[in-house]
Structure 1
Amino acid sequence: MSDMGNVVNTVTLRVNRFAPRPERDRDRSRGGSPFAKKSSPFGGSGASARRRPRGKQWVQDYTLSARPEDTVLDCLLSIKRTIDPTLAFRYSCGHGMCGSDAVSINGTPTLLCTATVKDWAKQPSVSMVDDEGFRHTGDTAVIETDDGDDSGNLGIIELAPLPGFPVQRDLIADIDQMLDQIRRLKPYLQANDELATTDEGKIDVFEYLQRPEQLAKYEQLSNCIACGTCEGSCPVYAGGEAFIGPAALITASRFINDSRDVQAAARMDAIDSADGIAACQSVRACSRECPRGIDVGEEIWQLIAQIKER
């Protein structure tokens, strides 16, 4: 009988780790980004501004048994429970609904719980270097392993914290600045204070119904889970101290396009600034990896058009 059925698949997680050093009183008094405008409504200044912490950085490999259909989150939980309890990462629902486990996988911002080993594991490449130490363009060999290979090596997955945010520890990024920016834009429905009633004095619930075409204008935008993958992909956003960022703009657009909201003009005024919508360079990198399927770049472009037309 063949021993192929006894082959155990393994995968290597190459994790960029970070351990912050204790903060001193002198460090607390230092300001934030020198590029942030002090007058910006979207960023802080002085001691209240966020800055990147200092500490020890290193890369650590973990090799463990895994199935191709396992998620990267499954692998990290296995490491946490059986190999290294000090490894830090964040997650909650595990089903792509909360957005708390966004990291960089192989350089791409995405969610740990939706990324599978078979989709993200890659085989290591070996550079073909000549005797003088030079590598010619295109001279890169790839070590290939077949599914039936006796080694059972599925490949390597490189993990790093979400780009554009300060790192708290290992794979945990500090996204508070992004959430604060969203809160400043009042992410809730602001309807008028008049309560519609029927002739009998009861609440007229039908007064608040929307037509399908009205719902379609913002329904997809309401699926945003504020995971930060669009911010991590944006080349303009960096820590949130200046550019408001695509996540906050999507939140604003969701209510601007809601026919029940009466503060559309005020919402447009809030983002119509140098650090707001004007800072977007329309690169559209924010659209590539949205886990909820929102075309972030297109929505922001439509928002720019709305502001210019008013």
Structure 2
Amino acid sequence: MVGDGAEQHADSPMRVVIRISRFLPKPERPRRHSNPFAKDDAKQEPAFPRRKRQRGKQWVQDYPMRVHPQDTILNCLLSIKRDSDPTLAFRYSCGHGMCGSDAVSINGTPTLLCTATVGEWAKTPVPLSSGNEFRHTGVTTGSVDASIPVTTSDAGPASPAGADESLAAPGNDDGGDAGPDRIIELAPLPGFPVQRDLIADIDPMLEQIKRMKPYLQAKGLLATKADGAVDVFEYLQRPEQLHRYELLSNCIACGVCEGSCPVYAGGEAFIGPAALIMSSRFINDSRDGATDQRLDDIRQADGIAACQSVRACSRHCPKGIDVGEEMWRLVERSGGAQG
């Protein structure tokens, strides 16, 4: 992931091109008014709705920049939106890896924008076989270093007038290092419908999590003292009981595991690892009284049985959860994958 020579100058600015897969949705047609006297025969939504094909304009756009290796990619996008292209759309909230709202695909790997640094993800472009030219496609803002040939793969909307020239021609300020800019490729999170640019619609994942009833369902027995007051000490847990689910409770529903899963991202009928992790968090909670029902829920055809144990979901969890191992434990707990 680290570009050649990036580790040698950890504090010095480096030339990068932020290459973004952009998407502008096609405006929806206004719905026709239905007959108010007609019978409402709308069918119930299926548990796993079919993903709709997105319609709109797609193109690739390059943003040359000079940044420090320790700068986060989120900061790069904020700089682009503030100084160069206000039309760029992406999602973020806390900016510290706590909310999970800024998950995207970086160089083909799902991860969080706010925790990914330029030095970690910048890569040298692959040279073409014809000579010393490099693959460097897309529409760019401002002018580009003349030493780097640029070709347009798909013409998108024109760049806004008055684009900040400080983001372009990164070698003009102090000469820069020799060779081409390093590339960071950004795309929406795989496996989800795209709303615009880097913003993915994660509602399908949230609906699947909601389906698993991600809240404590107590056994209904309220312990009381002799005077009728609630005995709160009856609900304390031993450290080993807390340890069984404590790490699972750190899940921030960012969707990185779902975007990494070839089954979920491939469009198969699979509830997804995020919903199963949320269910496992309560299955392992000694205070929860709905374990049997939860196990029945994950035994459905699109539940744990659809998991193919690829374990790609474990590679980049920002909270350090071994999602693949937890999936295997659920298989054992539920009596094995059901056909």
TM bracket (short chain)? 0.7 to 0.9
Q: Indicate the residue corresponding to 1:252 in structure 2.
A: 279
- In the aligned structure 1, how far is the partner of 2:309 from the partner of 2:268? 19
Q: Indicate the residue corresponding to 2:328 in structure 1.
A: 301
Q: Indicate the residue corresponding to 2:47 in structure 1.
A: 42
- In the aligned structure 1, how far is the partner of 2:305 from the partner of 2:251? 22
- In the aligned structure 2, how far is the partner of 1:127 from the partner of 1:192? 65
Q: Indicate the residue corresponding to 1:281 in structure 2.
A: 308
Percent of residue pairs bearing the same amino acid type: 70
User: Is the 8 Å Cα contact of residues 182 and 247 (structure 1) preserved in structure 2?
Assistant: yes
- In the aligned structure 2, how far is the partner of 1:93 from the partner of 1:186? 26
Q: 1:172 to 1:127 in 2, by over 3 A?
A: same
Alignment deviations for residues 47-81 of structure 1 (CA, whole Å, 9 cap, x no partner): xx541320000000001231110000000000000
State the Cα distance separating 1:24 from its structure 2 match: 2.5
Q: 1:242 to 1:25 in 2, by over 3 A?
A: farther
- In the aligned structure 1, how far is the partner of 2:126 from the partner of 2:102? 28
State the Cα distance separating 1:86 from its structure 2 match: 0.2
**1:37-76 counterparts in 2 under 5 A?**
42-44=47-49, 49-76=50-77
What is the aligned length? 274
- In the aligned structure 1, how far is the partner of 2:241 from the partner of 2:293? 20
Q: CA RMSD in A?
A: 2.5
Q: Indicate the residue corresponding to 2:107 in structure 1.
A: 106
User: Is the 8 Å Cα contact of residues 13 and 69 (structure 2) preserved in structure 1?
Assistant: no
**Amino acid aligned to 1:116:** T
Structure 2 residue 224 is matched with structure 1 residue 197: yes
- In the aligned structure 2, how far is the partner of 1:74 from the partner of 1:20? 25
**Amino acid aligned to 1:242:** A
**1:84-233 counterparts in 2 under 5 A?**
84-129=85-130, 150-152=175-177, 155-233=182-260
State the TM-score, normalizing by the size of structure 1: 0.83
**Amino acid aligned to 2:284:** N
Q: 1:219 to 1:41 in 2, by over 3 A?
A: farther
User: Is the 8 Å Cα contact of residues 42 and 244 (structure 1) preserved in structure 2?
Assistant: no
Instruction: Could you tell me which runs of 5 or more consecutive residues in structure 1 were left unpaired when the two chains were aligned.
Output: 28-37, 131-142, 144-148
The alignment partner of 1:91 has SS state of: coil
Higher percent of residues as strand: 1
Instruction: Could you tell me which runs of 5 or more consecutive residues in structure 2 were left unpaired when the two chains were aligned.
Output: 1-8, 33-42, 132-147, 149-173
Q: Indicate the residue corresponding to 2:135 in structure 1.
A: none
